[in-house]
């Protein structure tokens, strides 16, 4: 873990399912938790920011792409505990469909890599738990 924060409450987070035909935009996580694993672009909602604003910002920071936010696809809790069972992080993650409307793909911010991944390739990657289920729920 980058740092143990031991939060007093869950933190909202949002991630985007962006498709290009039979491919989905995925990022390789550059930081813990799940450093080196593949997931969907997104991140924490900052104080005063709407979920839609946060999703657009996070996608832009991690991938260089501008998106239009669509429907809510799924949600999940991500809870990490230390060796004593204390909660190190707790994110309530909202997953939205999003459409690429501009920008050029490049990895940035917390993403070590960003690329379009074909449906049949997803199973060969180390994928953050629950992400494959979200991608299926989105229709891929």
pLDDT in tens, 18-57: 999 889 999 999 988 789 999 999 999 999 999 999 999 9
Residue 139, pLDDT score: 86
Residue 5 has pLDDT above 90, yes or no: no
Residue 61, pLDDT score: 96
Residue 4, pLDDT score: 57
Q: How confident is the model at residue 97 (pLDDT cuts 50, 70, 90)?
A: very high
Instruction: Tell me the torsion sign for CA atoms 38, 39, 44, 45.
Output: positive
Average model confidence (pLDDT) for the chain? 93
Q: How confident is the model at residue 94 (pLDDT cuts 50, 70, 90)?
A: very high
Residue 110, pLDDT score: 86
């Amino acid at each position: 873990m980058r740092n143990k924060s031991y939060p007093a409450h869950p933190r909202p987070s949002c991630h985007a399912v962006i498709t290009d035909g039979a491919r989905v935009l995925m990022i390789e996580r550059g930081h813990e938790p799940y450093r080196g694993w593949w997931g969907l672009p997104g991140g924490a909602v900052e104080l005063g920011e709407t979920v839609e604003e946060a999703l657009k910002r996070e996608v832009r920071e991690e991938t260089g792409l501008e998106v239009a936010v669509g429907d809510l696809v799924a949600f999940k809790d991500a809870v990490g505990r230390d060796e004593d069972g204390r909660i190190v992080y707790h994110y309530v993650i909202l997953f939205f469909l999003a459409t690429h409307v501009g920008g050029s793909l490049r990895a940035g911010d917390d993403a070590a890599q960003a690329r379009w991944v074909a449906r049949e390739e997803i199973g060969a990657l180390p994928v953050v738990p629950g992400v494959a289920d979200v991608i299926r729920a989105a229709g891929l």
